[in-house]
Structure 1
């Protein structure tokens, strides 16, 4: 291949990519963007914003602004941290910002740039796929047609619209196939090692899927031999095994840390039945993940093609992947044996592209009869399929009609080709195939992504609205920062269900939404302190349940609410300090210092059966450790439910079974004399399960509202023990929608906050704090001779500590945070965070890179 050919392919790839994005480019001019309204806005643009800011400030390892704080590699490695295309994007954007062509990139910028980033990525995917297919079919135009079939697949645009980083996986499949071919044909492993290493570094999750595909390809490729002088089975096994082992070693610095973060996440086991087979998708017209190109359907019935070994290879793998597409069990296997997720169909798009590329090279040898037979069968299939689908599913008729029209157009072009085999017609034919592919994906973008997937909701006006990132909200946050420059202060605020609002609006918060989170923090919410997040979810945490003790312990300094919100939402002891037209800001009058020292230690085991309020008191009176040396007696709180009266409202309640007969019914708890309890708040705890299998429902406790997932949801936590804080009132009303529930283990506790207020009056330790990137320096004077220091920074593998120049000991304190044993007097403490196993894995990567170079050179010498 010469440079001229390379430039032509590059230019054509960019041109095709632009045309494939025509719909979204048009909408971009109207202020609407190629970003999903849910994960796209909640995760993709926010994590890009966060990582861009951290990377360009030279901070690569830890972010205090990610939820309550978290490792950039371990918790964001699944997204963009090691994405090579994102890193390239960061470099380009940073250059544009440095030249003052653009301003500071915010969430709006990343939404606006999405379509242009996608154009660049798709062009690169087409070029890479063209090179792979050209090596296999030795026909430049046919290879380009196959590459376009691969790139212009509906799953590419689905992934880009909803989860952009998913599309990185497209980049490495052609390289993996090329690497396998080099092993098979030339017995050279270098390219395979490079391809495997890149996919492992880029994203561990899709590396898993891609390596499964590599295995499938290697098996089929051994059975279907293309060249005469191919490597033997033993030679292939040896080269594959060594190459993959070397690749894992080279990628260790990225792969190990990301996998550790995944394993240190907390997800309930998926316990629903998974079927082996389910014919539930329309792959000819309206599937969300794969729509078979009409040219591929036609080629299936040109039976002479099967004599070509390359075509047979790709069509055979395609057949297997089509079958797997209809298997929830296969979808589960590709998702790590978890809930079925259909994310692997880009592999099918690649093999279909390969089949089309191989078929195009044989068209000149196909007779009229063969073309007419294939065209007749294809037309029959499309017309019958449309009739059946509309008969049983009347939805998306316009989309089905458009797809039939495109199929008929391809069939017509092939019939014309059969009767007009002029010299230029193969070029016209393949241009028509590419053009129809462009029409298909633009139609898919409009019907499936825009209308059904709600991408039409993502606009400049929405992003700048109060529902996402409003001016009034930013104004209030900036006023808080102006009056209080404390860099560690946390503000409890998020818009609606946007848990990543703190990232969007540039403040330290108590909420985050990410597929991978710190397991200890999730356990803190779900089990240790039983904090309700106002929305059940396995991949989020949010707020502190309006519980003042927790705000004070975890440095929750401010609280923001909308003026239309309920007064009871404001935690006890928070005083209004700022407001504007629609929002109010409150300051915690009982805030405890960021650095606390304590002498009393409670073990987690001693508090195992204690209620959440008693655990809060333990964290106020001292420090809770996994294994405390001494056994301090746990604080006691009294359950007063026995002194309370229960009354049903539009419901019946017997032996823990609650039947709500009205639209909104339940139980009223009439509490005993509040003066006797000195209650400012009540904590009411209970076990709640909805007996209906598939209903999401709302729970209200007085003014407090929270939502619970259906029993069939894959995002259900499985935690049914709830603790709700409500301001002290004579009556506590538990309200649920009409239905059948299990409601048991009712407990009620009164909180007077005397302990918190006493603690707040104590003299705080003298501490100077400096946090620079991944290093936190604390100069502490321990004049009270306390034994422990605790800070509201999440405990996470990767933190190292020195105290007065000597290596110190880190403790997991207060269930999820950092505690450090300290000495009397002055303590100079340095905390440093590096991704788990970074030093070891960097050494491993360096060693394996050298081994790979030596191995490839040795193979080259043996082959020469």
Structure 2
């Protein structure tokens, strides 16, 4: 029930993290989320305000409190997925049945239609890969029911309630529901269901004021979530989005959605369109089928970004309504009409078969959707002929059975085998590929030895940036769709830190750059024994199996003070090494009102370096690799004996449309000496569009740049040496700060610093984020954005009792709006104000 990629890399870790934080009383900030981040703002896309997850957390906590279960681990959150999925599906079918019954459908057709929606393949797809997506399927039928109550009874209560729940639960899917509700209302207006419906102008007025009240009720969750979204950095999607494409075959080989055969038959029952209810759902089904084949529509639903087909549970609901209303009308059908429907459906299936060049049926198992369609035909004809309750029951059971048949084969072929979910097992969760024993033992030894709340361990399993959450330690990596943009800029633009793999929504490690480890609390480093590339100044302390733990011998105190100020504008064209040196010497600020120090010297020695082609030609900034792997060798002609590491920088972009190397489909490998990193190909939707690269390698006679066969733009070659003299002097300078009392608990940091030398600023390795407030000796002061992405504090002379507190942006204002909106809603409900009717 859990996907091997995002399921294990995001869903389980985030549930574990949030449960641990919430049950420890930390509701606002987590320093275990990468380098630290706001819970409401950066995890609102996932589970931080998910109503289903919050209820699960409460029940789990009570069971743990009553000693009916042990403290939940990663296995618990994996196993509980199945139980939650069963409960959620039962609620989805119940709420949808309620909606269909309100639409005047009889109980059996209403239930059948609801079951088709609840057991649609997109439900299993969502639960397996991105579990919180499935929660949206729960609220959609209630939202449509709320719309119907406004249209039929002029009652906005349910609509307001569901709008507030949807906005509170997940801001992303509330946007999706906003678009779906608009489509439903427009189609619904064209197909009135009763004579005395609320006027359109009155409806619009009701939707607006009740929607605004719902928005106000959700403010305490929605406002921080929107801030998190706006404070995120995601490169714009630059590819052309076509109006039409064929993402999958929803009749014979659906990857996203599968349309039941009975729905297709109903669409060809032309006499059914005389019925207004059938026309409504059939119209919605036809419209959404056309929408399914439009990447542009998928892009709109994904915030005008890369096309994502996440909205299509609405198609499943419309199809369920079509099946339900069609089933209710079957007793009126004539033989010739059934023949027309069978002919039309057969023709459509044949057209989809012939048009899909990728479709190959090597066995009946591959054709399970076609088999299900065939199984429907006989009961369809029998009920059309006999038209009695027994045949209705038999036909209804057949519709359910074929849908479950499809769901099970879909899970086996598309999810379990096609999506490698079958490899997710208890053994895998305890293996070195996810959470190995030797890895955990090393972490345990380090944690027993370390009490610095800012100390971090650089360790993650390849591609699993949330390893620190799984293995319960403070790390230097995270994978989340919403991240602090200042940190992403820090990695991608300001310091050009190579993470070992280009991808959006992630940051990881510090590129083996010793200065950054010392500045940002990177005290420990774990690697496999065979890895030779270890950051400068790290020495081995522990070993378990083939894993080794190293400790930074040049670690700087978490609290650093200085009266030396550099300005971002002065460092704009400086090298990453110069920026690191500036942070070692002082603090970097973005302030136009003060004068900064001179940029630290850092000579580019590329002009004293020989460039040699290897298995490639290099001309006009175009590198044409003709061998299977080739590139350039950089050979410094004059070397400084004090230099320990080289930093090589260059612009690199593949000139191929797509590339594949080392079994990575949309990536190609870049090697700089022993440093290995992967870059996205041009057709990947996960590329960062940041092609300026800086790699640290230990000093050697030559620096080799190696790429797979192909053409690349390679320009702006730069080469710098680092002798680490500034790092060693910074260590001595800041030794007095090693014993400064400091505590970090949840959203609060306390520091007592006696500023006897009249230092101007203090820097902390806490990411800068709106929501932090600082108090010095009881008075609020400005939180400064220092060193590009971290917190700086202006100090006073003498004793500084510093308290840093984090609350979500505008938290108290949004809490006030929520309370006032609830009062307003209750007041309106009680008094039923005339002008709002």
Name the TM-score class by shorter chain: over 0.9
Q: What pairs with 1:299-448 in structure 2 (closer than 5 Å)?
A: 299-382=266-349, 385-386=352-353, 389=356, 393-394=359-360, 398-448=364-414
Change (3 A) 1:217 1:638: same
Q: 1:193 aligns with which of 151, 160, 172?
A: 160
Q: 2:771 aligns with which of 793, 798, 816?
A: 798
Query: Which residues of structure 2 form unaligned runs of 5+?
Result: 660-666
Change (3 A) 1:396 1:496: farther
Residue 650 of structure 1 contacts residue 660 of structure 1 at CA under 8 Å; is this kept in 2? yes
The answer to whether the aligner puts 1:689 opposite 2:660 as a matched pair is: no
Residue 256 of structure 2 contacts residue 309 of structure 2 at CA under 8 Å; is this kept in 1? yes
For residues 863 and 112 of structure 1, what CA distance do their matches in structure 2 show? 48
Change (3 A) 1:860 1:150: farther
Change (3 A) 1:735 1:137: same
Residue 645 of structure 1 contacts residue 669 of structure 1 at CA under 8 Å; is this kept in 2? yes
Q: What pairs with 1:836-855 in structure 2 (closer than 5 Å)?
A: 836-855=809-828
Residue 379 of structure 1 contacts residue 411 of structure 1 at CA under 8 Å; is this kept in 2? no
For residues 355 and 175 of structure 2, what CA distance do their matches in structure 1 show? 37
The answer to whether the aligner puts 1:620 opposite 2:584 as a matched pair is: yes
Q: 1:49 aligns with which of 8, 16, 24?
A: 16
Q: 2:457 aligns with which of 491, 495, 509?
A: 491
Aligned-pair distance for 1:378? Answer: 2.7
SS of 2:451's partner is coil
Q: What's 1:77 paired with?
A: 44
| Aligned residues between the structures | 827
For residues 35 and 372 of structure 1, what CA distance do their matches in structure 2 show? 43
Aligned-pair distance for 1:352? Answer: 1.0
Change (3 A) 1:584 1:398: farther
- Deviations 1:368-407 (Å, cap 9, x if unpaired)? 3323432343345435644654x65326765552111111
- Deviations 1:568-614 (Å, cap 9, x if unpaired)? 2x100001111122110000000000111111111101111110000
For residues 399 and 255 of structure 1, what CA distance do their matches in structure 2 show? 46
Q: 1:86 aligns with which of 49, 53, 71?
A: 53
Q: 2:254 aligns with which of 267, 272, 287?
A: 287
Q: What's 1:827 paired with?
A: 800
Q: 2:669 aligns with which of 671, 687, 698?
A: 698
- Deviations 1:32-71 (Å, cap 9, x if unpaired)? xx11111110001010110011111111100000000000
For residues 277 and 558 of structure 2, what CA distance do their matches in structure 1 show? 65
Aligned-pair distance for 1:137? Answer: 2.4
Q: What's 2:663 paired with?
A: none
Q: What's 1:644 paired with?
A: 609
For residues 404 and 743 of structure 1, what CA distance do their matches in structure 2 show? 51
Q: What's 2:830 paired with?
A: 857
For residues 361 and 10 of structure 2, what CA distance do their matches in structure 1 show? 30
Q: What's 1:533 paired with?
A: 499
For residues 509 and 52 of structure 2, what CA distance do their matches in structure 1 show? 34
Question: How high is the TM-score relative to the length of structure 1?
Answer: 0.94
Q: What's 1:158 paired with?
A: 125
Residue 137 of structure 1 contacts residue 357 of structure 1 at CA under 8 Å; is this kept in 2? no
For residues 780 and 353 of structure 2, what CA distance do their matches in structure 1 show? 71
Change (3 A) 1:746 1:395: farther
Aligned-pair distance for 1:421? Answer: 2.6
Q: What's 1:478 paired with?
A: 444
The answer to whether the aligner puts 1:754 opposite 2:725 as a matched pair is: yes
Residue 740 of structure 2 contacts residue 752 of structure 2 at CA under 8 Å; is this kept in 1? yes
Residue 546 of structure 1 contacts residue 571 of structure 1 at CA under 8 Å; is this kept in 2? yes
Q: What's 1:12 paired with?
A: none
SS of 1:274's partner is coil
SS of 1:700's partner is strand
Query: Which residues of structure 1 form unaligned runs of 5+?
Result: 1-33
Residue 147 of structure 2 contacts residue 159 of structure 2 at CA under 8 Å; is this kept in 1? yes
Q: What's 2:559 paired with?
A: 595
Residue 698 of structure 1 contacts residue 707 of structure 1 at CA under 8 Å; is this kept in 2? yes
Aligned-pair distance for 1:482? Answer: 1.5
Aligned-pair distance for 1:280? Answer: 4.1
For residues 384 and 9 of structure 2, what CA distance do their matches in structure 1 show? 51
* Bigger mean CA deviation after superposition, 378-387 or 705-714: 378-387
Q: What's 1:764 paired with?
A: 736
Q: What's 1:745 paired with?
A: 716
Q: 1:633 aligns with which of 598, 608, 613?
A: 598
Q: What pairs with 1:197-276 in structure 2 (closer than 5 Å)?
A: 197-276=164-243
- Deviations 1:799-837 (Å, cap 9, x if unpaired)? 011000001110001110000001111100111100111
Q: 1:815 aligns with which of 788, 793, 812?
A: 788
For residues 418 and 721 of structure 1, what CA distance do their matches in structure 2 show? 68
SS of 1:260's partner is helix
Residue 206 of structure 2 contacts residue 836 of structure 2 at CA under 8 Å; is this kept in 1? no
For residues 634 and 387 of structure 1, what CA distance do their matches in structure 2 show? 67
SS of 1:791's partner is strand
For residues 73 and 398 of structure 1, what CA distance do their matches in structure 2 show? 49
For residues 97 and 438 of structure 2, what CA distance do their matches in structure 1 show? 50
* Bigger mean CA deviation after superposition, 681-690 or 131-140: 131-140
Q: What's 2:570 paired with?
A: 606
For residues 606 and 552 of structure 1, what CA distance do their matches in structure 2 show? 23
For residues 608 and 383 of structure 1, what CA distance do their matches in structure 2 show? 62
For residues 127 and 362 of structure 2, what CA distance do their matches in structure 1 show? 22
Residue 596 of structure 1 contacts residue 764 of structure 1 at CA under 8 Å; is this kept in 2? no
For residues 339 and 848 of structure 1, what CA distance do their matches in structure 2 show? 35
Q: What's 1:777 paired with?
A: 750
Residue 491 of structure 1 contacts residue 559 of structure 1 at CA under 8 Å; is this kept in 2? yes
Residue 794 of structure 1 contacts residue 818 of structure 1 at CA under 8 Å; is this kept in 2? yes
SS of 1:692's partner is coil
Residue 666 of structure 1 contacts residue 735 of structure 1 at CA under 8 Å; is this kept in 2? yes
For residues 210 and 784 of structure 1, what CA distance do their matches in structure 2 show? 58
Aligned-pair distance for 1:553? Answer: 0.1
* Bigger mean CA deviation after superposition, 203-212 or 378-387: 378-387
- Deviations 1:397-424 (Å, cap 9, x if unpaired)? 6555211111111111111112233332
For residues 362 and 80 of structure 2, what CA distance do their matches in structure 1 show? 30
For residues 396 and 185 of structure 1, what CA distance do their matches in structure 2 show? 52
Q: What's 1:733 paired with?
A: 704
Change (3 A) 1:519 1:787: same
Aligned-pair distance for 1:107? Answer: 1.9
SS of 2:103's partner is helix
Residue 137 of structure 1 contacts residue 358 of structure 1 at CA under 8 Å; is this kept in 2? no
The answer to whether the aligner puts 1:665 opposite 2:638 as a matched pair is: no
SS of 1:137's partner is coil
Aligned-pair distance for 1:764? Answer: 2.5
Question: How high is the TM-score relative to the length of structure 2?
Answer: 0.97
* Bigger mean CA deviation after superposition, 741-750 or 766-775: 766-775
For residues 54 and 181 of structure 2, what CA distance do their matches in structure 1 show? 26
**C-alpha root-mean-square deviation of aligned residues, in Å?**
1.6
For residues 201 and 89 of structure 2, what CA distance do their matches in structure 1 show? 37
Residue 353 of structure 2 contacts residue 359 of structure 2 at CA under 8 Å; is this kept in 1? no
SS of 1:726's partner is strand
Change (3 A) 1:98 1:396: farther
Change (3 A) 1:128 1:317: same
For residues 228 and 397 of structure 1, what CA distance do their matches in structure 2 show? 53
SS of 1:424's partner is helix
